[in-house]
Amino acid sequence: MPALLAAMSPAPDRHRTARFEACFLPHLDAAWNLARWLARSDADAEDALQESMLRALRYFDSFNGENPRVWLLAIVRNTTWTLIAKKPGQGVHESLDEDLHLLVDGGPTPEAIALVASDIAVLQSALDTLPAPLREIVVLRELEGFSYKEIATITSLKIGTVMSRLARARERLAAELVRSPLEVSP
């Protein structure tokens, strides 16, 4: 049975497919991770990833050879949001107050900072419930380790926006996950 890429390749070309694989196979997990966090369900993430790989193959000739992970994830990100946007109340256009109310003053000022949660379910839900525009930045930075500049490229956002969203996202996560020892003890 021919697999997806072999079947859908515009001009079935073994060499091209091999080159494509060599470029992007190493980044399949990164692609899936992003799609899955954005879509928040296996089924939607799967559709998004399949569609993304097809698009990537279609546009492969326009790939300049630099940083395939960034190139692929930009496609995955846009494809996933496009799919998600068809569902009500979701997606990257979720409303977000862009004002930056930070933060240095806001937090507690204990000597030590403690994580309250290391339980995976709690961590997962904290990230899952972030508004989509913040969630994607956290996934790209904390889970995939992209630089600010790379995140800006993937998301087509200004680097300043990336930085402020990341700070807001972390502030929200910290509010849920991080306490001073005083707060933790009963």
Partner 1 sequence: MNCHDALLVQAYLDDELDAAQSLEVARHMEACERCGTYYRRLEATRGAMSHPQLRYQAPAYLRASILPAAPRTSAMTRRRPPAWGLALAASFLALAAIGSFGLLRGTGPRQDAMVAEAISGHMRSMQINHLIDVVSTDQHTVKPWFDGKLDFSPEVTDLAAEGFPLAGGRMDVLQGRSVAALVYRHRLHVINLYQWPAAGSTEPAATAADGYNSVSWTEGGMAFIAVSNVAPDALDAFVAAFRGRNSLRNESKR
Footprint of partner 1 on 85-124 (CB under 8 A): 102-105, 107-110, 112-115, 117-118, 120, 123-124
Sole binder of partner 1 in the list 55, 90, 131, 163 (CB under 8 A): 163
Sole binder of partner 1 in the list 43, 65, 88, 97 (CB under 8 A): 65
Between residue 13 and residue 42, which ones bind partner 1 under the rule CB under 8 A?
14-19, 21-29, 31-33, 36-37, 42
Q: Should residue 49 be labelled a site residue for partner 1 when binding is judged by CB under 8 A? A: yes
DSSP conformation letters of 103-140 = -TTTS---SS-EES---HHHHHHHHHTS-HHHHHHHII
DSSP E strand stretches across the chain: 114-115, 178-179
- Looking up tokens 């930075």 gives 141
Q: How far is the CB of 133 from partner 1 (least distance, A)?
A: 17
Q: Should residue 3 be labelled a site residue for partner 1 when binding is judged by CB under 8 A? A: yes
Confirm if 65 and 132 have CB atoms less than 8 A apart: no
Q: Should residue 146 be labelled a site residue for partner 1 when binding is judged by CB under 8 A? A: yes
Confirm if 166 and 133 have CB atoms less than 8 A apart: no
